[in-house]
Structure 1
Amino acid sequence: MKVVAVSQRVDVIPERGENRDALDQRLVTLLLVAGFIPVPIPNGLYLQTPDGGVIHDALDDWLNAVSPQAIVLSGGNDIGQCSARDLTESRLLDHARSHNLPVLGICRGMQMIAHSEGGELKPVTGHVRTRHTLSGQIVAEVNSYHSFALADCPEGFEVLARSEDGEIEAIRHLSLPWEGWMWHPEREAFFASHDVHRLKKLFGE
């Protein structure tokens, strides 16, 4: 079974003075169902000072030890909300590019892929706690939990699906095995067969 590195959201717990990494157990289950071994990656392996100086960098050591064969950028947190997570995911994308690894970006993860390629985000309404019917190369009904959307398709990518109101819901890189989905496949009561099949195809069974 292929090992998949999975990024984690950051939950701030003020009463305990803690910043906790968190991962929905349903995402772990989805990856297992698809035939992969998920390994959560801690935020904070690579930290910088505000002026860009490196505090410590153990991310390469982690990647060498785990040797992931694919990467999932999970949902949660807005870009810019947690610098440790932003830095971690940016480095993961650099690693994936240099090693030609498959990447799936889920919700914020898709936004992070677009952001890393110079794409712009915009606020969007009507996309939180609702469902959409997709059109395009992916035709399906999916959930929606995001308040930001892609302003346009980043260079080097194509749009795979749009919602009824024309917002970009899925993208694919034209040369790298990278996809972004704005929906959360792990949050369905029963995992959609089209999501599982597409995940297997992207990562390679």
Structure 2
Amino acid sequence: MTRIVLHDYFRSSASYRVRIALNLKGLSYEQHHVSLAKGEQKDAAYTDINPQGFVPMLEWDELRLTQSLAIFDFLDAQVKEPPFVPSDPEGRAHVLALALTIACDIHPLNNLRVLKYLKTELGQEQAAVDGWYRHWVEEGLAALEALAAPKAGRFLYGDQLSMADICLVPQLYNGRRFDVPMDAYPTLLSAEASALALPAFKAAHPDAQEVQS
């Protein structure tokens, strides 16, 4: 039997994505909590196995996999159902573009290490840091709404659940933590509601994790 270990943090968007993905594929896994709040991602014991010092990292027997979208791709190759991207080239490209809008354009500007740097190294007040967060999230979500709306259905791409939805749900969760208004994104909210009704998403939610610190 394959041994699967997820190194994660309960509120990490990227870790939340991978928990959803593992649940959707019906895979059982161990969790190793890495507290970003306590800086455990920088401990030598962790950087020895993950030099980048980020979460998530997925151990699959002897493999050590990083970067959430790369992990999605690996899981899709291992377990065919449900697929995380459509089989047709146009649909695949569209879903990847939606997912990357979140994973590459919104999330990196607002993850914890950036926010800490703004406050500690650049001396910004908390109000300015929060304003930075909201600005980039609002700009990114507005673009995502416009990109997704023409082809959305129950989910961001028609009625087919995809990696775009897996990326969306954690981003909206964290956006709300910083009081980002959501009323301007009806397409995103509709897809989120459909996704959150699924057991795989409910079990992956930060509030459902045993360790929350």
TM-score by length of 2: 0.30
TM-score (norm 1): 0.31
Question: Per residue, is there more strand in 1 or in 2?
Answer: 1
More helix by share: 2
Higher relative contact order (CA 8 A, sep 6+): 2
